[in-house]
Structure formats: C-alpha cells, structure tokens
C-alpha cells in the first residue's frame, strides 16, 4: 500500500525533532552532526537566535497581505540584495525552481521586448540541476529527471560540461542565453574554472546573450564569497537564488539588472506567496549576518581547515575516497567506494552528509560552523571510512 506521503524520496531511517547550530537531535536525544544543512539550506545552522527572533517577531504582527500591496520586509530584503550584488531589481519566490523559472521567463521576455522573439533558446550544461518543474527538468535534460514526463517544454540546448568549443558551436541566431551553476551541486560539486566563467561572460557579450547564473546552492556565502561568480570577477545579467537565503524558511529570488528585466512589466509575472512578510523577515536577518564584518572571511578560514582535514582523510583511506573538490563550504568527496555506503556509515557514526552525482558525497555545513565542530565531523567521517573499509 502506498504511504500517505508520496514516495518520491528514498528516505534514510532517520527523523529529527530539534536542532541547534550544526546539531540535530532525534526523539530519543541522539545528536547528529549536520554536515548537509538541509542541502545548503540551513546556512546559519538550526535555530539561529537572530533568525528565530525575526520570524517570531513578524509572526506576531502580520503573516500575509498579497503582492497587491507594498510589503516592507520584501522591499528591505530587495534593497539589501541590490546593495550587495550586481542586481538592480529582485523578484521573490518560495523555492529554487520558481527562481530559475522566473529567470527563463525573463530571458524570453527580454528578447521579445527587444523585437527578437525568435531568440528564445537557452544553452545549459550536462550534469546541471535547475529544479523540478517541467521546464527546469527540460533545462537540465538528464534522463533521470525527464523520463516519463514528456512532452517537455522546448527551448534548451545541452552541451557537455567544461567543453568550451562545444559551447561556442552551440550558439545560433536563436540563442538567447547561457544558464549555469558556477559549481554544479547535484552534479557532483563540479566547478567551472574562473577562466571558463570569464570566457563564457565574454561569449555572452560578443553574441548579445544574457548570462543566467543558478546560484541556488552556491550563493549566500556558501563558497566564501557572497556569490560564487565573484571569484571569477564577472557578473551575470540574471541570477536565481534560494536555499541559503531563507536559512531554512522557504524563500527564493530572481535577481536582475535593469536592462535584463526590461520586459517584466506589471502583470507579466506573479506569485501568491513569494516575498511574504515572514520569509523576507528571515531573509533580511540572514543577509545581515552573512554580510556582517568578517563573516565571509571566517567561512574561508573554516573551509580551509575542513579542506586540510579532508585531504588527510582521503590520503589515509585511499580505497574509500579518491579526492576532495569544491569551493569554500561547498565540498565534494569523490568516492572510490559507493557514495551511499559512505553516507550510510556516516549515519552510524552520527554525521550527516548528502549524496551527489559522479559518486560524490557533499559536505555543506552551516556557514557559521566552528573549527572545533569541523574536527568533530572529521573524527566521525574517519569512523565511517574505517567501517566502509572493513566491508571492502
Ligand atoms: C536545489 C536547487 C534547485 C531547486 O531548488 P528547489 O527549491 O528544490 O526548487 C535548483 N538549482 C540548484 C542549483 C539547486 O541546488
């Protein structure tokens, strides 16, 4: 008999009832170190006091009005995002996939508005992940996402990851944009090189294309910059964010330059819940912490400590692990053993990690994790690695 919850997830036999910083606790009081942070969602850990206060304070005043009215928290969060990024304007959503959808709609509208409606195709990369709506599974293109769900929306051309010649060859008079994650998350923590990001920006400029970045996983401090593209010294025209910006409360956004957003006039797009007072209160609190003095420097410092520890772990367990990759606190451990075996052994050692493509396990801890907590995580991963070794 089907479970009351639609069984679209192969869930681990684990359930948590409370959290505190990077720790999660089960009903019987067992504590797990959360190195997945809800897949890069709990950017400041669980039950961060400033986020709890922001949500509680707003919950007592007002939950929902409608986007028919000005929403002060939404305006405040938009102003913060505009102040700290390339963007001039922001559309708020409740999730990642709504943010990439908004980005794609904006691209098409831009060229329609410019009198070039035939330019409506977007180039994407193999191994990418942009969400689960029909258009976004079509955008990513992998069979594991699309199988059985056709007919799919058209308008996406897929090129191999990291193949600049193929990318250039895929540009046609119908091409409107290139969309990519600076570091592929679900795809296995695969980063575009800074040189390739620069070259892609240059290609966009040369051909009049819009550059759309999906920073849903890489954004909001995850890589040690507020947004990952800053490492390459480039800016996009449109950027989708979600996950970390809400710190665990559902919140996403599509950021754009004034030029790219030109076609998005009143009535062209909308949302009931996007940008609601509760989500934006939390979003403002997250932004205030992450853009605070020295916060991102600390992310980089702690990330260096993690990286060093993981290099040691890989070196001492060459039959379990192959290499470490990623940027900042978005780290992948490429496995030699099955990644799911390593993750399950982690559960036994009370440390949570997340699977990714290419036989990788992902470590995406809260950005405010301490070096002491990192050491504890490394010790538990060491236990997990030894357990896996015994089964090989
Ligand atoms: C998680 C993720 C999405 C989808 O976000 P949802 O909130 O699950 O819709 C899209 N793109 C990237 C890069 C992601 O990591």
User: pLDDT of 235-272, one tens digit each?
Assistant: 999 999 999 999 999 999 999 999 999 999 999 999 99
Low-confidence ranges of the chain (pLDDT < 70): none
3-state secondary structure string across 175-216: EEEEEECCEECCCCCEECCHHHHHHHHHHHHHHCCEEEEECC
216 lines ligand 1 (CB under 6 A): yes
Domain boundaries, the chain: 16-34+293-389, 50-290
pLDDT in tens, 295-336: 999 999 999 999 999 999 999 999 999 999 999 999 999 999
Name the helix (H) or strand (E) containing 303: helix 295-316
Is 285 close to ligand 1, i.e. is its CB under 6 Å away?
no
Task: For ligand 1, say whether the CB of 181 is within 6 Å of any of its atoms.
Answer: yes
State residue 122's pLDDT score. 99
The Cα angle at residue 326 between residues 322 and 327, in degrees rounded to 5: 150
Tell me how far the alpha carbon of residue 185 lies from the centroid of ligand 1, in angstroms.
9
Q: How far apart are CA 123 and CA 57, in angstroms?
A: 43
CATH number of 16-34+293-389: 3.90.1150.10
Ligand 1 atom with minimal separation from the 214 CA: 13
The pLDDT value given to residue 90:
98
Say how many Å lie between the CA of residue 187 and the centre of ligand 1.
12
Closest CA to 129 of 43, 195, 231, 40: 40
Round to whole Å and give the CA distance between 228 and 230: 5
Fold of the 50-290 domain: 3.40.640
How much is the pLDDT for 83?
98
Cα–ligand 1 centroid distance for 203 (angstroms): 26
Q: Quote the pLDDT of residue 32.
A: 98
- The alpha carbon of 384 and the centre of ligand 1 are apart by a number of angstroms equal to 28
């Amino acid at each position: 008999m089907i479970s009351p919850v639609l069984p679209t997830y192969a869930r681990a036999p684990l359930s948590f009832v409370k959290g505190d910083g990077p720790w999660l606790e089960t009903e019987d009081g067992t504590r797990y170190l959360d190195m997945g942070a809800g897949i890069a969602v709990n950017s400041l850990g669980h039950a961060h006091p400033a986020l709890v206060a922001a949500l509680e304070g707003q919950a007592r005043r007002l939950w929902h009005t409608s986007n028919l009215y000005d929403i002060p928290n939404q305006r405040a969060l938009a102003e913060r995002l505009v102040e700290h990024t390339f963007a001039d304007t922001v559309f708020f959503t409740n999730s990642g996939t709504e943010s990439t959808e908004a980005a794609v709609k904006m691209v098409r509208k831009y060229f329609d508005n410019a009198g070039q409606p035939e330019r409506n195709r977007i180039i994407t990369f193999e191994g990418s992940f942009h969400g689960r709506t029909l258009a976004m599974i079509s955008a990513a293109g992998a069979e594991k996402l699309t199988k059985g769900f056709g007919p799919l929306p058209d308008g996406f051309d897929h090129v191999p990851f990291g193949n600049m010649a193929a990318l250039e060859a895929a540009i046609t008079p119908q091409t409107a944009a290139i969309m990519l994650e600076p570091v592929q998350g679900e795809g296995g923590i695969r980063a575009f090189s800074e040189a390739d990001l620069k070259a892609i920006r240059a290609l966009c400029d040369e051909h009049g294309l819009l550059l759309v970045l999906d920073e849903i996983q890489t954004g909001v401090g995850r890589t040690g910059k507020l947004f990952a593209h800053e490492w390459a010294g480039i800016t996009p025209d449109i950027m989708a964010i979600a996950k970390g910006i809400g710190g665990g409360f559902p919140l996403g956004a599509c950021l754009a330059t004034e030029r790219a957003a030109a076609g998005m006039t009143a009535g062209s797009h909308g949302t009931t819940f996007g940008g609601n007072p509760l989500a934006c209160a939390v979003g403002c609190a997250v932004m205030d912490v992450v853009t605070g003095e020295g916060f991102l420097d600390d992310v980089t410092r702690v990330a260096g400590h993690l990286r060093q520890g993981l290099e040691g772990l890989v070196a001492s367990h060459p039959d379990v692990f192959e290499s470490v990759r990623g940027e900042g606190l978005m780290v992948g451990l490429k496995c030699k053993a099955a990644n799911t075996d390593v993750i399950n052994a982690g559960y036994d050692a009370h440390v949570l990690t997340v699977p990714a493509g290419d036989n990788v396990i992902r470590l995406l801890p809260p950005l405010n994790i301490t070096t002491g907590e990192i050491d504890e995580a490394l010790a538990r991963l060491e236990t997990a690695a030894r357990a896996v070794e015994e089964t090989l």
